[in-house]
Amino acid sequence: MFALVSPEYFETMGIPLLRGRQLSDRDGANSPPVAVVSDTMARRYWPGQDSIGKRINFGGPNTFEIVGIVGSTKTEGLDADPYAQIYALHTQVPQRGMSLVVRASSDPLALVASIRDILSSIDKDQPLFNIKTMDEVLSDSIAQQRLNALLLGIFAALALILAGVGIYGVMSYSVRQRTHEIGVRMALGARSGHVVRMVVLGGMALTGVGVGIGLIAAFILTRLMANLLFGVSPSDPATFAVISGLIGLVALLACYLPARKATRVDPVNALRCE
């Protein structure tokens, strides 16, 4: 990509200079055309070489000498690889429309009126439009991924609720099937805590097996979600640990309620069950 900038662009955007020098006001309209390239472009087109001092031409009248190498940027979104970028001065290659980038230490939107007045004093016919903060630009770039992640989160929450309901139903059925056994145990002196522990441990053992299988499947399938994640690995241990713990808590509650109910069984009535 070819971008026309002013000398202060790199400092304003926080793009570091890696080698060589930056563009400056000394590189005017009557000076030899110069350019700065990203390190992605330097590695791609001059591997193992020093790209500073090389000359590039795009078929136009200007041949640019590379005077510096700067860090790469993701101009098309956080999920896109950095482009091979070339920066030249707008004073050496004039164009009709440009974007104004302002770096502020406070709310940047509070400066809009002042910037508009300054532009109007320079050229009253120069419009200022499509004003966005960098936070808005970043938010817009991941809007689709954020929507996909939200939908997946909703489906995951529904799956967690269904899992809890399913475990509760299975444990309730299991307790009903073991009513006679529980009655015998309690008639022989088993305490309610022992019955609760017996039912809960049985349910949590099955839950542990299910969580283990789910973790293996999730570890494999998360590779398909890599393009939805930013700043976190698809196999992030903290995420797996938190989700496993949450499923365990839901399962524990789903096992505890039927187990607690089982302790209220009258041993006499339980012994009469076939």
Tokens of 23: 């563009």
Q: Is the pLDDT of residue 198 over 60?
A: yes
Q: What is the mean pLDDT of residues 153-179?
A: 80
Q: What is the mean pLDDT of residues 163-185?
A: 76
Integer Cα distance of 172 and 262 in angstroms: 9
Integer Cα distance of 121 and 54 in angstroms: 40
- Total-model pTM: 0.59
The residue to which tokens 């145990």 are assigned: 185
Tokens of 206: 């099955």
The residue to which tokens 């896109």 are assigned: 80
What pLDDT was estimated at residue 36?
Answer: 93
Q: Is the pLDDT of residue 163 over 60?
A: yes
Give the amino acid at 224: L
- 3-class SS of residue 250: helix
Integer Cα distance of 146 and 63 in angstroms: 43
